Amino acid sequence: MTIRTPSLLLCSLFLVQAQAQDDESVATPTTFGGQAGADLSIEAMEPTDEPIRIGMAGEDPSNIARYLMARGAGGGRLSPDGRLLAFSWSVTGEAQLWTMPASGGEPRQLTFGSGLSFFRWTPDGDRLIYGADNDGNEQPAFYAIAADGSEERVVLPAAEGGFRVFGDFAQGDVVYASTERNRLDFDIWRADLDGEKTMIFEGTFGYFARSVSPDGKYAIVSETVGEDSDNLYLLELDSGEIRPLSRPDPRANHANAGFAWLPDGSGFYFATNRDREYAALSFHELSSGETRIVAEPDADIASVALCGADDEYLAWTENHDGFHALRIQNRSNGESPELPDLPEGVYGLNCADRADRLALSINGWRTPGDIFVIDLGSGRAERVFSSNLAGLDPDRLIRPESIRIEARDGVELQGLLYLPDAESRAGNGAPPVVFDVHGGPTAQSQATWEPAMQYLLDHGIAVFQPNVRGSTGFGRSYVTLDDREKRLDSVRDLVDMLDHFDDDPRIDAGRAAVRGGSYGGYMVNAVLSEYPDAFSAGVSIFGVSDWVAALEIASPGLKASDRIEYGDITEARWQEFYASISPINKADQIKVPVLYAHGVMDPRVDIGETEVMVKALRANGIDAPFIRLPDEGHGWRKLSNQLFYFRREVEFLQDQLGR
C-alpha cells in the first residue's frame, strides 16, 4: 500500500489493491516470474463460499472479519471545478469508483466490475477515465464513464500481453505507456476517447509518460534506470522529438512525488534526490534548463501539487520515518495557512483546477481511508469522507513507534514497532513478535492501516515492521546498500534487528515469526534458509525462491531496473551468484513451519516460485501449508479471499507463537 506513481517494484501485501492510497500502485505493469508451467497438483487450500460473519452471538467482538471490514476511501480526486470528489472504495468487496459532492453528502457508485487500477477526471470534468484488469492480471482496458454514471464506453480494450500505464491528458486525448507494440518495451502512445491511437515514441525497456504541459505540447517522460532511480526527458508530442532533462551519474530519482506545471507551461515543480540524500522540492525552468531547490527538509518530499484557481498555492508532503506532514505555501507571499491537526499516516494530495480546494486522502494506523477537503485560503479542513471501523474501538488501535537499531556492521536501521496493550496480553510475560517485512526491495513500511496486524496486536502479539537497508525514505545511500552482491546484507539485518530485542524487555524475541509478501516473501525464504535458528516460523506470500529463473524471465519494466539492482543475469557470474543465494537451493536448511500463499493470476511472481518451496519443505518433513487463490494476482483484492486468507494466516501465527 503507497502514494506513488506507478513503480516497477515488487510490492508488499496487506489489501494493497483494495485499499491503496494511490490506485496507480495497483496498475504496475510488471512480471517477476519463476518456473512457469509448474505442476499444479500440489496439495493446497482454496477459498470456499464461506459466509462473512461479524458480531455473531457469542463471538469475539474483535474477530478478524471486523478488522478486514474496516474500510475507507483511497485516492480522492476533485473534479476540475472542485464540486465533485471521486475516489475508490471497496465497501462492496472489491475496489470500485465512486463520486460524492466535495462538500460532503451521499456517495454514488459508478463502476461495478473488477480490477479498478486508476481513475482520472477528464479536463472538462464531464467524465472520468479509469482502468480495469482481469482478476489481477495487470493488463487493463481503459474506459470512459460519465460523471453521473449514465454513459460508459471502452476507450482502449485490453490487449493480450499489453501492459499499460496511464500518464496524463493532452487536449482531451489520453497519453500513456504500453508494451502493445512488441510485448517487451514500453512506448509512449496517444489516443482519443474514441480509441484512435498513435505511437508517439518508441522506447526501450521502461519509458513512461508522467505529466503533460497545460498547452498539451510536451510530456515529461521518465526512463527507468534502477528500482529507485530514473532519467528524465521532455517529449514533444506532435513531433515525437525527445530531449534529456536529467540523466545524472550517480543515478537519482525524479518522478516519485509527481509533477506540477505552471499554468503557462514555462516550468514545473517536482522532487528529486539528485546530488543529495533526500528528495528535495525543486523547480525546473524550461527556457534556461535550470533547476532550483524550493524546499529541502531532512526527509523525502513524497508528493507535490499546485492548487487554486490561479495556481496560487504550492502544496507538498514530507515523509518523516513513515509519518507524513502536509505543507501549503502561498506562492505570491510565501505565507502558509494555519492547518488543523490531521490524523497521522500517509497523505495523498489532489487539487481542483479551477477552485481553491485541495483533497487530502489519509491512510493511517487507525484511519483506513479518510478524505478531507481543505479551503486553501483559510486552511479550514472538512472531513467529507470518514472511515468505517466496523465496530472496532479506535482507542484500542495501536500507534507504531519509530525505533533505530544498529546493525553489526554499524549501519543504522529503522523500523516501526507496535506493542499490544495490557488488556490484550495473556499473563505477565513479554509478548511474542511478528516481523512484517515490506516488498520492493525499494519500498518502505509506513504508518498505514494494517488490519491483520492490528488483529494480532489485539490478541497479544507484537508486530515489528523493519525497514532494512535498501528501503526508501532514509536517503539515497541507504537505498543502494543491498544492491547486487550486498543482497544478503539486508537479510542479515532481520537477524540483527531480532537480536536487538533480546535486550528489550517489551518483546519475547525467543518467540518470533517472520512474514512478508512479494520481495518480502523472498526475505522470509532467505532468512529462514540463511539463519535457520533465528525465527520460530514464517509466512511467505508470492515470494521469489529462484533468482536465476525470476531474473531471466522478468518483464521489460523490471529488466530495466534489474540491471542496476541485481546485475545482468545473462552473464555467467551473476547466474552463479544468484544461484548461490536462491532460497530454493538452501531449502534443506529451513527447519521451522512456513505458511505459503500465491495467486494463480499473478503476473509478477509465477506461482511456481512458491510451489517449488512447498514441495522442497514437505520433502524434508517440514510443515508447509499452502493457500492457492485461483482468482487473484499479486495481492488479494476481493473481500471473500481476504477473509479466507487472513483467518488462516492469523490462526497459523497464533498456533506457532501463542500469546
Q: What is the pLDDT of residues 200-238, one digit of tens each?
A: 999 988 899 999 999 999 999 999 987 789 999 999 999
d(CA 646, CA 30) in angstroms, rounded, equals 25
Please report the pLDDT score of residue 223 as a whole number: 94
Query: What pLDDT band is residue 25 in, cutting at 50, 70 and 90?
Result: very low
In this prediction, residues 177-188 reach a mean pLDDT of: 92
The pLDDT score that the predictor gives to residue 37 is 37
Query: In this predicted model, what pLDDT tens digit does every residue of 608-642 receive, in sequence order?
Result: 899 999 999 999 999 999 999 998 888 888 888 98
> Grid coordinates standing for 49?
463460499
Contacts of 570 by beta carbon, 8 Å cutoff, 6+ apart: none
Q: For position 20, what pLDDT does the model report?
A: 34
- Domain 42-66+392-546+582-657, CATH among 3.60.20.10, 3.40.50.1820, 3.40.1280.10, 3.40.50.11540: 3.40.50.1820
pLDDT the model gives residue 17? 32
Query: What's the CA gap between 131 and 137, in Å, rounded?
Result: 12
Q: Measured between alpha carbons, how far is 401 from 269 in angstroms, rounded to an integer?
A: 32
* Structure confidence by residue, pLDDT tens digits, 65-86: 899 989 999 999 999 999 999 9
Using an 8 Å Cβ cutoff, are 290 and 284 in contact? yes
What is the predicted pLDDT for the residue at 564? 67
Farthest CA pair distance, the chain: 72
Grid cell in block for residue 322: 513513515
Expressed in percent and rounded to 5, the helix, strand and coil fractions of the chain are 20, 35, 50
Query: Which triple of cell numbers denotes residue 94?
Result: 472489491
pLDDT recorded at residue 200: 97
- Encode pLDDT of 522-579 as tens digits: 999 999 999 999 999 999 999 988 888 877 776 555 665 666 677 777 788 888 888 8
Question: Is the four-CA dihedral 107, 113, 116, 121 of positive or negative sign?
Answer: negative
Per-residue CA distances from 65 to 89, 631, 640, 648 (Å): 17, 20, 10, 12
Q: Is the pLDDT of residue 408 over 90?
A: yes
Confidence of residue 392 (pLDDT cuts 50, 70, 90): very high
pLDDT value for 39: 44
- Please report where in the chains the cell 506470500 appears, as a residue: 541
The answer to whether 410 touches 492, Cβ cutoff 8 Å, is no
pLDDT of 38: 40
Range 190-197 average pLDDT: 96
The pLDDT score that the predictor gives to residue 622 is 96
pLDDT of 260 higher than 80: yes
pLDDT at position 226, please?
78
**pLDDT at res. 645:** 92
Rg of the Cα trace of the chain? Answer: 23
Q: What's the confidence (pLDDT) of residue 5?
A: 27
Q: Could you tell me whether strands 462-467 and 412-418 are parallel, antiparallel, or unpaired per DSSP bridges? A: antiparallel
Q: What is the mean pLDDT of residues 510-532?
A: 96
Q: What is the pLDDT of residue 41?
A: 57
CA distances from 588 to 78, 105, 528, 530, 580 (A): 54, 58, 10, 11, 14
For residue 621, what are the contacts with CB-CB under 8 A and spacing of at least 6?
none
pLDDT at residue 322 tops 50: yes
Max avg pLDDT among 8-12, 53-57, 196-200: 196-200
- Side chain identity at residue 91, one-letter code: V
CA 327 to centroid of chain Cα atoms: 23
Q: Is the pLDDT of residue 306 over 80?
A: yes
- The pLDDT of residue 557: 56
Task: Quote the pTM value.
Answer: 0.89
Q: What's residue 513's pLDDT?
A: 98
Question: Is residue 501 over pLDDT 60?
Answer: yes
C-alpha distances in angstroms, 504 versus 118, 501, 525? Answer: 43, 5, 26
- Residue-level pLDDT at 604: 81
Whole-number pLDDT of residue 614: 96
Sheet holding 323-330, edge to edge: 300-307, 313-320, 323-330
Collect all residues with Cβ–Cβ distance below 8 Å to 51 and sequence separation of at least 6: none
- More confidently predicted of 19 and 468: 468
